[in-house]
Amino acid sequence: MQIAIGLYPGLTMLDAIGPYQVFTNTPGVDVVVCAAERGRLSDDNGLLHLDIEHTFDEVTSPDVTLVPGGFVTRRLARDRDPIVGWLADTHARTTFTTSVCTGALLLGAAGLLDGLDATTHWCAYDELASYGARPTEQRVVRQGKIWTAAGVSAGIDLALTLVAELFGPEMSQAVQLGIEYDPQPPFDSGSPSKADPAIVELVRAVSDAQVDPADVA
Give domain status of residue 82, yes or no: yes
Assigned domain for 99 exists: yes
Active site residue 34: no
% of the chain at pLDDT higher than 90? 94
Residue 21 has pLDDT above 70, yes or no: yes
Distance in angstroms (rounded) separating the CA atoms of residues 199 and 161: 29
What whole-number distance in Å separates Cα of residue 157 and Cα of residue 191? 15
Q: What is the pTM of this model?
A: 0.95
Question: Does 217 fall in a domain?
Answer: no
pLDDT for 180: 98
In a domain, 192, yes or no: no
Question: Residue 214 above 70 pLDDT?
Answer: no
Per-residue pLDDT tens over the stretch 74-121: 999 999 999 999 999 999 999 999 999 999 999 999 999 999 999 999
How many independent structural domains does the chain possess? 1
The residue among 79 and 208 whose pLDDT is bigger is: 79
Q: What is the mean pLDDT of residues 184-207?
A: 93
Q: What is the pLDDT of residue 162?
A: 98
From the candidates 5, 29, 84, 101, which is the catalytic residue?
101
Task: Give the rounded percent of residues in the chain with a pLDDT score beyond 70.
Answer: 97
**203 is a domain residue:** no
What digits encode the pLDDT tens for the residues 130-185? 999 999 999 999 999 999 999 999 999 999 999 999 999 999 999 999 999 999 99
Q: Does residue 131 sit within a domain?
A: yes
Domain boundaries, position 172: 2-185
The predicted pLDDT at position 111 comes to 98
pLDDT at 212: 63
Structural domain contains residue 206: no
Q: Indicate which CATH number applies to the domain containing 80.
A: 3.40.50.880
* pLDDT surpasses 70 at 213: no
Burial class of 186 by CB neighbour count within 10 A (0 to 12, 13 to 18, 19+): exposed
Q: Does residue 67 lie in a domain region?
A: yes
- Range 126-142 burial, b when 16+ CB lie within 10 A, else e: ebbeebebebbeebbbb
